[in-house]
């Protein structure tokens, strides 16, 4: 049964993609429904699978040997991922309704865009699902790569200048990331002679250069997870991508990197070497830096989706810091990881809802304002840890840290939560500023509402191990909730202060511009060198050609000696006879 | 008796050498051909002298009569009017060429002479007692030199014939007139005649077709183009 | 039991085709096609028979004496059968493709005749059991490829043919010298002998190194290793099936295969390591990989870009040898097959674009995905495989090579691999992007250079299906690499069975 | 070395059937030639019919040799003893001669019919007959007198054949050839005179027994060497060769290049191996000239514009291959193994080249006949219209290039190995350079033929079988590479 479900959950998206292709060629464009019910159902088998219980599969014929598993970690992960994908798909049906109408009316460009999206959406999903259940490197890498590259279409969907820039940034960093991951995997797997993620984990733990392997993997996967420095694609890609795509990008796919870390880094293992612990420190610092830096930079953004992207970076920074704890303080990890999963799941759905919310604020339904704006803010508030699942999540990471006496980190995380709150506040404010009336589709807001509910109720449906999460005790509520008002206040005050100072919003994508500048600066001398080499090559080719020509010109003159020889054949015979005789005599007389 | 023989041989040898050289180096072709006939007749005598009457007969028939006829045919003396007859060799060789040929001929002379000297060490005669042999060496070397020098076809053909006779003379000189030697010489004479005939025909034909009378510098486009 | 007829018949099958094709008149199109396809199918069956026999542990040998001390030997061993399998499979595909491609053009008799001769030579190379026999077919390959390269008869093609010959014939001479030197040193050395040449190491170290340099130097020209690769991009003027054959199966692979034979079967891995030549080989291969990728990046036409990509990719095989470990060997062997499948797909695609739409330059490819979806999908698959992304076969080899490098503690090789992957991505992804994401004539912007409607589908069926097949095969070789008789499995079998203690 | 030429006593006397076969092999070509002069054949089949006995005689001789080993014949005519011997090498060369001769004869009717009619063309037949008889005699003869007779017959008939085309250029070239050939044989005769004078005998077997090194032997060897080198067109006395080939009829060129010059070379090697068994420098001079010949011939062929000159110049280069082997065959300090290898390689190269060159001339003749152009540029587009002729040319040139699996390759392999063993690096370099140069000129020719941009001109259809004959020759040269073992075993059977 589980195997059937597994096969279904992998094949179903493929089948959906196939159907999309089929209908492109068979259904007349006027009746083509890109987001049909079938298309919506792409993620459903996976969702079912997550709730099917734990299971294990070994398929020898699959690539380098397939090892798939649904375990305590991958089940909840699959659950929230599949859920978010389903919700986002529902949202997409509404979101793309206008475009679809255009397409059905015969707009070629819209047809093309929708077809592309409809085709690659299930493939991205497939990659995402595969990487979650994969326990062997090849499958994981396959899923990761499939997801990464298929998602390009989601980012570039609208085809505008910004979308293309975002997609470009996304793709370049993805390629860099793939390279780093491959390097890390090769290194670790080569040293440990293994083909599974488990083996990689153990290999990193025991290998001499384990820290370096771990660094490669951390950075490679960190591209997706938005480690500081490699995060630049997020604020560029998200504003440009359609809202449902942003939702899955920021909710589900960004978590793939996190899952990768958890799968390959020897978190919480006995006997972590000093260098690995050092890496942990670096990760910790990087995570916290991302958490604060992104918040600081993000609040100045104008585009709500850019702000949300920065919020994602910030949140992922926190998660990075938490994962780092698995290396820095291995003992805490067994207690910590359910909290991390919960945090991730909650962030996924909350961020998904927030992104979906941006599309709602652009097409506000005719509901009472008092209803809409709280709803729009609700996932954000939860994200800041003030209510619902956010609070539970925050507590479930805090309490193990308390137990192990990492109060300073807790403090820092709380301060980071202030940043989150500030970002959410700014985001909602920007949405308010840029709101548009009308045109909202029931699918659109239905999915959004579902997302909010699911986000707020995350601990209830997430198949985590029993008793791994609990509501925070009342006395801790204040300690968890204070960042929200603090953040909001800071933002309000800051905003009020800055109103009189003419601050230009820094461009989204912060370091991207630096990278681009550096790269083009580096490329200038490279081009010069290349041109120089080309010139040298051309010159040498020319010289050798000339030499050849000269030689060829000389050759006929040389060959004129043939006539001389022809003419003097008898004389030459005489010479030869004399020569031979002389030689022979000389040799004989010696 | 011996002395008279010697005298006769010396005379014969001298006659042979002189006629050969005259034949080789006379630019006037008719005269050269006449000298050749004279040379052939002297050869006949020489064969007779060496005690090879069979060879003498063959030489007389093939060498003097038939080959001579061939040459005069080649000169255009039999069927005048068909094409111009040959009179003189008008080629002028650069002196370096002549000099090189002279050196080569001398060297050959030395080489062949040395070889003969070695061959007949166990014989009682010394070379100067073998004037015919000496003449043979002389004729061979100079004929070869002349062959390499000349460009006029007829003169080369003449040189070849003289060369052949010289070689036969040497052969007879060193090997005596044994059956093998006689056979070799007879074959050689036949071949020489056949060759001369073919050559004469060719010369006529070439003259008739194109007016070519020499193997000129083949750098000229005439032969090059085809 | 020795089934000597099996290797010979395999060889003769295609040789017979050559004879038949040359004796048929130019107009007998239908008959020629039939003969061609029939022979290709028969050969696949024969090769499958050989595969079966080899996997049952039997090796069929056919031999006769040529002159004293020199024998002509054909032997069906695992490595040879692997290469024979690749070439016979791709021969079928390429023949079908070529039939479609050359529809209506002139000189088809000559083309197919030499094409078959080319494949005969490849099979001969695969089955040759000593250097002499190898050399015979190797040179035959050189000669039979020339008419294919200059097929179009244009000035450019003729020049390319000249360059091709300059390289390959010089290489042939070098190779001949090496082969004779080796024969002089050791007598007739069979590829199947176990001893290797270690007996000669002490006394003839310098000579052995020289021989190795000569042999590998000669073979490297066909394998298009930098700086001996110059002929390959130029040979791109040939018709697409020829490029496919040249790049995927016959010529470059023959060189690489020869190097495999020399290192593993002739010198033996141990000896090669002791001579210290292997590391040199690895460095040379790495340089080639990077240089080829960089040059590919600079190309503006599709086929030259693919050609430089070949330069780069074929050296993966050499690199695998250079890693002197089981994984490197498996990677090298598997890449022999994988790269063949993927590159042939890419060239088929390039040919289809050129035939159907007249596309030669990369900037003309905008939006071709809409006009020719299957071709473009196949191209995408091939390109992703070249980059080394799963699930295409390229990933498998890259993986094995990487692991091999780590095992051999040659970490820089991993850097090379990743750099090459990145470079591959840099020159293939823009093409894929153009295909799918740019607007082009298919969307009503501009016009294709020279559009023809060749078939009911996006192009002629003869052109389409081989390409689809090879694309699926390269996908399958990656996805189902763990299956028995998959390329990886067979490569592992060869590696473990023959070379590793 | 001596035994390799079969210069020792035979064990068995020849049978009667062998006598008849010998008579047919030596006399029949001449007789048939005369007959054909009286009734010139217009078709191929009468020629084929006439050739059958010749081939059969070759077959009988082969099987006789197989059974009895070396065979000898000796006659005393008026005090002159003539002797023949039949060893493996003779049989091999005899068979080669017969096959190529038959091929040329079969090719002739078609070729004559298609070219412009010549009054003298019927004389081709007897001359060809004489030529083949004389060649057969040269392979068999084992005394200097018979050799001389055969050599002269061969030379004169060859000149006669070359002249028949009647063009001025042909006559001029023929005249030069005639004079040089005659002078060459006189030099040979001079050498023979010295030998006869010194040792008093002409039979090779006896000479081999009595000859000791000394000035006479040396000078005789020098004279014979120079004379035969001139006749064999060894570099630098090759100048007469290409005009001769360029202007003669195709079957004549084929026979001449394939066999006639080889006969002189054969004699040269045979006599030197008797006279100079242990000299160091003389073979090296020849080898040095051979290297130059390879380069020079290659360059000539590479730069020429005329197809026939290309083929003729390639002969010069190919003779160079044979020349560079001389030190291995004659030198004093060569171990038995390399000497045996060189010996086999030498003859394989010679035979392979004979077949290939004959095929090449026929293919070239076909091309010229069909296109009406004798320049390389005139070949443009032939790959489309005359693929078979071109293919034959290609197959033949594979042998010349020494690429596998042709006999040229196998020979080159053997030679290279022999050279490597005896450390003759220069020869190795020459051989390899030769390969490249050969490839250069061959593919230059192909380059023209593949040029499709040239305008079409009218092609004359060829007579049936003309291509097939050439193809069979080319394939023989090709197949000898792989089947070399059988031929070489034949040669090896001649001695210990």
Distance from CA of A186 to the nearest CA of C (A): 6
Distance from CA of B219 to the nearest CA of A (A): 6
If you average pLDDT over every residue of chain A, what do you get? 88
Instruction: Grade residue B126 by pLDDT with cuts at 50, 70 and 90.
Output: low
Across the range A125-137, mean pLDDT stands at: 92
Across the range B183-202, mean pLDDT stands at: 89
Q: Are A487 and A417 in contact (CB under 8 A)?
A: yes
CB distance B163–D192 less than 8 Å? no
**Among the partner residues B111, B147, B219, nearest to A570 by beta-carbon distance:** B147
| Minimum mean pLDDT range among A321-325, B212-216, C192-196, D21-25 | B212-216
Asked whether B and C share 3 or more beta-carbon pairs under 8 angstroms, the answer is no
Walking along chain D (496 residues) 10 residues at a time, the average pLDDT comes out as 76 83 89 87 84 90 86 84 88 92 89 77 88 92 90 91 83 88 90 87 86 86 91 88 86 90 92 86 90 91 87 90 89 84 90 92 88 82 80 89 86 90 88 90 87 70 83 89 83 55
pLDDT digits (tens, 9 = 90+) for C157-196: 888 988 999 899 999 999 999 998 888 888 877 887 766 6
For residue B118, give Cα distances in angstroms to B134, D214, D219.
14, 9, 10
Chain D residues near residue C153 by CB distance under 8 angstroms? 383, 450-453
- What is the pTM assigned to this prediction? 0.89
CB distance D174–B202 less than 8 Å? yes
Domain ranges of chain D: 290-496
Q: Are C440 and C365 in contact (CB under 8 A)?
A: yes
Say what the alpha-carbon torsion angle A389, A391, A396, A401 is, to the nearest 10 degrees.
Answer: 160
* Nearest one of D398, D422, D273 to D341, comparing CA atoms: D422
Domain ranges of chain A: 2-509, 510-559, 561-590
Residue B222 domain-assigned (yes or no): no
Q: What is the ipTM of this complex?
A: 0.88
Across the range A445-460, mean pLDDT stands at: 90
CB distance D413–C176 less than 8 Å? yes
Confirm or reject contact between A28 and chain D (CB < 8 A): no
Q: Are C321 and C70 in contact (CB under 8 A)?
A: no
* Nearest one of D131, D154, D400, D100 to D267, comparing CA atoms: D154
**Chain D interface residues (partner C, CB cutoff 8 A):** 344, 348, 383-384, 387-388, 391, 394, 398, 403-405, 409-410, 412-414, 416-417, 420-421, 428, 432, 435-436, 439, 443, 446-447, 450-453, 481-485, 488
Confirm or reject contact between B218 and chain A (CB < 8 A): yes
Residue B224 domain-assigned (yes or no): no
If you average pLDDT over every residue of chain B, what do you get? 79
Which helix or strand (DSSP H or E) is residue C63 part of?
strand C61-67
> What does the angle CA A532 – CA A537 – CA A541 come to, to the nearest 5 degrees?
150
Chain A residues near residue D240 by CB distance under 8 angstroms? 566, 569
Best residue in D173, D190, D218 for a mutation probing chain A (most A CBs within 10 Å): D218
- The set of chains that have 3 or more CB pairs under 8 A with D is A, B, C
**Among the partner residues C153, C165, C181, nearest to D420 by beta-carbon distance:** C181
Q: What pLDDT shows up at residue B225?
A: 31
**Count of C-beta atoms within a 10 Å radius of residue C36:** 23
Give the integer Cα–Cα distance in Å for A347 and A470.
Answer: 17
Confirm or reject contact between D176 and chain B (CB < 8 A): yes
| Minimum mean pLDDT range among A295-304, A466-475, B135-144 | A466-475
Q: What pLDDT shows up at residue C285?
A: 92
Query: Is residue C88 packed enough to be buried (19+ CB in 10 Å), middle (13-18) or exposed (0-12)?
Result: buried
Q: What pLDDT shows up at residue B23?
A: 84
Do the strands A66-70 and A55-59 form a parallel or antiparallel pair, or are they unpaired? antiparallel
Which residues of chain C fall below pLDDT 70?
A: 1, 194-196, 248, 498-501
Enclosing domain of residue C489? 276-501
Give the integer Cα–Cα distance in Å for D367 and D388.
Answer: 10
Chain A residues near residue C298 by CB distance under 8 angstroms? 530
pLDDT digits (tens, 9 = 90+) for D473-491: 999 988 888 888 888 888 7
Number of folded domains in chain B? 1
* Nearest one of A226, A251, A227 to A241, comparing CA atoms: A251
pLDDT at B219 over 50: no
CB distance B215–A581 less than 8 Å? no
pLDDT at A306 over 70: yes
Chain A residues near residue D301 by CB distance under 8 angstroms? none
Task: Name, in order, each residue with C-beta under 8 angstroms of C397's C-beta and a sequence gap of 6 or more.
Answer: C316, C320, C331, C334, C335, C338, C339, C388
Instruction: Grade residue B218 by pLDDT with cuts at 50, 70 and 90.
Output: very low
Confirm or reject contact between B39 and chain A (CB < 8 A): no
Secondary structure class of C64 (helix, strand, coil): strand
- The set of chains that have 3 or more CB pairs under 8 A with C is A, D
Confirm or reject contact between B100 and chain A (CB < 8 A): yes
Give the integer Cα–Cα distance in Å for A264 and A216.
Answer: 11
Interface of A with B in 551-570 (CB under 8 A): 560, 563, 566-568, 570
Q: What pLDDT shows up at residue B84?
A: 61
Residue B220 domain-assigned (yes or no): no
CB distance A190–C417 less than 8 Å? no
Enclosing domain of residue B74? 2-214
Chain A residues near residue D290 by CB distance under 8 angstroms? none
Number of folded domains in chain C? 1
Q: Are D140 and D211 in contact (CB under 8 A)?
A: no
Give the integer Cα–Cα distance in Å for D315 and B46.
Answer: 44
Residue A306 is encoded by which pair of tokens?
């850019």
pLDDT digits (tens, 9 = 90+) for A537-572: 999 999 999 999 999 889 888 888 888 888 888 888
pLDDT digits (tens, 9 = 90+) for A402-420: 888 888 888 888 888 888 8
């Amino acid at each position: 049964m589980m195997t059937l479900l597994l096969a279904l959950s992998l094949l179903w998206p493929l089948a959906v993609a196939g159907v999309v292709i089929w209908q492109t060629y068979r259904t007349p464009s006027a009746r083509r429904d890109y987001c049909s019910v079938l298309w919506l159902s792409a993620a459903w088998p996976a969702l079912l699978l997550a709730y099917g219980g734990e299971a294990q599969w070994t398929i020898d014929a699959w690539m380098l040997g397939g090892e798939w598993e649904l375990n305590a970690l991958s089940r909840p992960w699959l659950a929230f991922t599949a859920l978010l994908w389903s919700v986002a798909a529902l949202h997409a049906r509404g979101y793309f309704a206008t475009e679809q109408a255009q397409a059905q009316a015969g707009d070629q460009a819209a047809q093309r865009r929708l077809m592309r999206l409809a085709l690659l959406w299930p493939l991205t999903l497939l990659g995402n699902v595969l990487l979650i259940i994969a326990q062997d490197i090849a499958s994981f890498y396959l899923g990761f790569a499939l997801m990464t590259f298929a998602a390009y279409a989601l980012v570039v969907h609208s085809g505008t200048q910004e979308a293309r820039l975002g997609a470009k940034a996304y793709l370049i960093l993805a390629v860099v990331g793939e390279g780093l991951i491959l390097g890390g995997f090769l290194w670790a797997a080569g040293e440990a002679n293994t083909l599974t993620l488990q083996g990689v984990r153990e290999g990193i733990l025991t290998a001499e250069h384990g820290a370096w392997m771990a660094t490669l993997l951390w950075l490679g996967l960190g591209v997706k997870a938005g480690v500081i420095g490699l995060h630049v694609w997020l604020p560029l890609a998200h504003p440009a991508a359609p809202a449902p795509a942003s939702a899955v990008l920021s909710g589900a796919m960004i978590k793939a990197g996190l899952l990768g870390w958890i799968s390959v880094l020897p978190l919480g293992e006995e006997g972590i070497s000093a260098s690995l612990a050092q890496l942990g420190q670096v990760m910790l610092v990087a995570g916290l830096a991302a958490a604060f830096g992104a918040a600081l930079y993000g609040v100045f953004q104008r585009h709500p989706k850019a702000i949300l992207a920065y919020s994602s970076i910030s949140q992922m920074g926190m998660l990075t810091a938490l994962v780092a704890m698995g290396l820095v303080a291995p003992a805490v990890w067994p207690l910590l990881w359910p909290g991390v999963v919960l945090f991730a799941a909650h962030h996924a759905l909350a961020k998904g809802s927030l992104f979906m919310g941006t599309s709602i604020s652009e097409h506000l339904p005719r509901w009472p304002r008092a209803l809409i704006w709280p709803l729009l803010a609700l996932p954000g508030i939860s994200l800041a840890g003030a209510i619902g699942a956010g609070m539970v999540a925050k507590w479930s990471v805090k309490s193990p840290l308390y137990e192990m006496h990492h109060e300073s980190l807790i403090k820092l995380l709380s301060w980071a939560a202030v940043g989150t709150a500030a970002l959410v506040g700014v985001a909602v404010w920007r949405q308010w500023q840029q709101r548009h009336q009308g045109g909202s589709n029931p699918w659109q807001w239905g999915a959004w509402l579902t997302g909010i509910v699911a986000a707020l109720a995350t601990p209830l449906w997430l198949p985590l191990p029993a008793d791994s999460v609990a509501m925070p005790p009342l006395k801790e509520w204040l300690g968890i909730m204070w960042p929200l008002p603090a953040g909001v206040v800071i933002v309000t005050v800051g905003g009020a202060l800055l109103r009189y100072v003419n601050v230009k919003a820094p461009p989204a994508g912060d370091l991207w511009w630096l990278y681009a500048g550096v790269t083009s600066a580096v490329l200038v001398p490279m081009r010069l060198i290349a041109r120089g080499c080309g010139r040298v090559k051309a010159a040498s080719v020319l010289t050798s050609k000339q030499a050849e020509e000269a030689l060829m010109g000389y050759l006929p003159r040389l060959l004129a000696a043939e006539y001389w020889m022809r003419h003097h054949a008898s004389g030459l015979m005489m010479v030869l006879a004399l020569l031979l005789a002389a030689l022979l005599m000389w040799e004989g007389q010696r | 008796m011996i002395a008279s023989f010697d005298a006769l041989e010396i005379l014969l040898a001298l006659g042979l050498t002189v006629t050969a050289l005259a034949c080789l180096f006379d630019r006037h072709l008719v005269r050269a051909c006449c000298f050749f006939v004279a040379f052939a007749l002297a050869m006949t005598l020489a064969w007779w002298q060496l005690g090879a009457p069979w060879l003498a007969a063959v030489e007389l028939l093939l060498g003097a009569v038939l080959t001579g006829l061939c040459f005069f045919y080649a000169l255009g003396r039999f069927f005048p009017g068909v094409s111009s007859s040959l009179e003189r060799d008008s080629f002028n060789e650069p002196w370096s060429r002549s000099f090189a040929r002279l050196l080569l001929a001398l060297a050959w002379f030395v080489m062949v002479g040395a070889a003969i000297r070695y061959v007949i060490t166990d014989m009682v005669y010394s070379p100067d007692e073998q004037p015919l042999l000496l003449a043979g060496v002389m004729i061979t070397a100079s004929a070869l030199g002349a062959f390499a020098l000349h460009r006029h076809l007829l003169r080369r053909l003449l040189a070849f014939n003289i060369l052949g006779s010289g070689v036969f003379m040497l052969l007879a000189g060193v090997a005596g007139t044994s059956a093998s030697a006689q056979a070799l010489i007879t074959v050689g004479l036949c071949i020489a005649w056949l060759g001369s005939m073919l050559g004469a025909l060719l010369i006529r034909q070439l003259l008739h077709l194109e007016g070519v009378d020499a193997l000129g510098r083949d750098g000229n486009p005439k032969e090059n183009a085809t | 039991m020795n089934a000597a007829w099996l290797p010979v018949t395999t060889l003769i099958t295609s040789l017979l085709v050559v004879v038949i094709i040359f004796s048929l008149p130019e107009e007998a199109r239908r008959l020629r096609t039939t003969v061609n396809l029939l022979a290709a199918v028969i050969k696949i069956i024969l090769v499958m028979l050989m595969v079966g026999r080899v996997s049952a542990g039997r090796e069929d040998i056919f031999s006769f004496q040529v002159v004293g001390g020199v024998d002509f030997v054909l032997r069906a061993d695992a490595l040879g059968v692997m290469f024979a399998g690749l070439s016979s499979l791709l021969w079928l595909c390429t023949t079908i493709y070529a039939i479609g491609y050359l529809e209506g053009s002139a000189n088809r008799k000559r083309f197919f005749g030499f094409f078959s001769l080319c494949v005969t030579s490849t099979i001969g190379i695969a089955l040759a059991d000593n250097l002499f026999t190898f050399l015979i077919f190797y040179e035959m390959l050189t000669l039979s490829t020339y008419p294919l390269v200059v097929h179009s008869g244009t000035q450019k093609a003729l020049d390319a043919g000249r360059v091709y010959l300059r390289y390959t014939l010089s290489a042939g001479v070098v190779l001949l010298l090496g082969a004779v030197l080796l024969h002089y040193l050791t007598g007739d050395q069979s590829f199947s002998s176990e001893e290797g040449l270690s007996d000669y190491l002490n006394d003839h170290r310098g000579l052995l190194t020289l021989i190795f340099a000569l042999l590998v130097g000669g073979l490297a020209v066909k394998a298009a290793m930098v700086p001996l690769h110059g002929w390959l991009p130029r040979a791109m003027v040939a018709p697409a099936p020829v490029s496919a054959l040249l790049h995927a199966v016959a010529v470059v692979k023959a060189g690489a295969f020869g190097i495999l034979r020399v290192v593993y079967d002739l010198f033996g891995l141990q000896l090669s390591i002791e001579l210290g030549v292997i590391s040199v080989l690895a460095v040379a291969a790495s340089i080639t990989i990077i240089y080829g990728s960089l040059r590919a990046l600079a190309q503006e036409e599709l086929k030259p870009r693919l050609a430089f990509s070949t330069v780069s990719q074929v050296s993966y095989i050499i690199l695998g040898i250079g890693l002197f470990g089981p994984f490197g060997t498996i990677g090298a062997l598997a890449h022999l097959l994988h790269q063949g499948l993927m590159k042939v797909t890419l060239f088929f695609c390039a040919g289809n674009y050129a035939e159907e739409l007249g596309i030669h330059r990369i900037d003309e490819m905008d939006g071709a995905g809409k006009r020719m979806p299957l071709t473009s999908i196949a191209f995408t698959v091939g390109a992703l495989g070249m980059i080394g992304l799963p699930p295409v076969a390229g990933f498998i080899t890259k993986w094995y090579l990487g692991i091999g490098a780590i095992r051999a503690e040659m970490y820089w090789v991993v850097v090379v691999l990743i750099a090459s992957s990145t470079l591959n991505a840099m020159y293939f992804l823009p093409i894929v992007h153009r295909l799918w994401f740019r607007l082009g004539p298919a969307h009503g912007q501009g016009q294709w250079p020279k559009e023809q409607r060749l078939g009911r589908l996006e192009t002629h069926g003869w052109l389409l299906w081989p390409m689809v097949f090879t694309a699926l095969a390269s996908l399958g070789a990656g996805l189902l690499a763990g299956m028995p008789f998959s390329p990886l499995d067979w490569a592992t079998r060869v590696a473990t069975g023959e070379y590793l203690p | 070395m001596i035994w390799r030429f079969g210069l020792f006593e035979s064990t068995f006397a020849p049978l009667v059937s062998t006598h008849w076969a010998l008579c047919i092999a030596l006399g029949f070509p001449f007789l048939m030639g005369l007959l054909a002069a009286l009734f010139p054949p217009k078709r191929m089949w009468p020629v084929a019919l006439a050739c059958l006995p010749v081939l059969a005689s070759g077959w009988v001789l082969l099987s006789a040799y197989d059974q009895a080993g070396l065979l000898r014949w000796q006659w005393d005519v008026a005090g002159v003893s003539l002797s023949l011997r039949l060893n493996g090498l003779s049989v091999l060369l005899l068979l080669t001669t017969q096959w190529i001769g038959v091929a040329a004869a079969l090719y002739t009717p078609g070729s004559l019919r298609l070219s412009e009619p010549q009054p003298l063309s019927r004389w081709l037949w007897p001359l060809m007959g004489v030529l083949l008889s004389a060649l057969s005699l040269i392979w068999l003869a084992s005394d200097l007198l018979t050799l001389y007779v055969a050599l002269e017959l061969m030379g004169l008939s060859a000149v006669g054949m070359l002249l028949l085309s009647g063009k001025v250029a042909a006559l001029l070239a023929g005249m030069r050839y005639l004079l040089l050939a005659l002078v060459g044989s006189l030099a040979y005769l001079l050498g023979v005179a010295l030998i006869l004078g010194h040792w008093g005998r002409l039979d090779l077997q006896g000479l081999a027994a009595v000859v000791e090194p000394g000035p006479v032997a040396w000078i005789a060897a020098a004279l014979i060497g120079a004379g035969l080198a001139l006749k064999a067109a060894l570099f630098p006395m090759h100048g007469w060769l290409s005009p001769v080939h360029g202007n003669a009829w195709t079957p004549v060129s084929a026979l001449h290049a394939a066999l006639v010059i080889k006969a002189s070379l054969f004699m040269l090697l045979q006599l030197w191996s008797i006279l100079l068994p242990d000299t160091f420098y003389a073979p090296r001079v020849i080898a040095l000239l051979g290297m130059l010949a390879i380069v020079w011939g290659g360059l000539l062929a590479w730069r020429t514009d005329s197809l026939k000159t290309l083929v003729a110049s390639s002969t010069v280069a190919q003779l160079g291959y044979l020349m560079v082997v001389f030190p291995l065959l004659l030198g004093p300090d060569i171990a038995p193994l390399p000497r045996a290898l060189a010996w086999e390689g030498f003859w394989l190269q010679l035979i392979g080249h004979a077949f290939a060159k004959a095929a090449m001339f026929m293919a070239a003749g076909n091309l010229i006949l069909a296109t009406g152009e004798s320049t390389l540029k005139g070949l443009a587009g032939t790959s489309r219209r005359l693929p078979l002729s071109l293919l034959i040319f290609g197959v033949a040139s594979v042998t010349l290039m020494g690429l596998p699996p042709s006999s040229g390759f196998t020979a080159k392999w053997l030679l290279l190995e022999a050279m490597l063993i005896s450390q003759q690096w220069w020869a190795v370099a020459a051989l390899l350079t030769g390969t490249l140069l050969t490839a250069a000129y061959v593919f230059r020719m192909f380059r023209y033929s593949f040029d499709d941009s040239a305008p079409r001109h009218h092609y004359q259809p060829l007579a049936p079988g003309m291509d097939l004959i050439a193809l069979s020759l080319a394939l023989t040269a090709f197949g000898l590479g792989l089947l070399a073992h059988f031929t070489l075993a034949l040669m090896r059977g001649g001695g210990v």
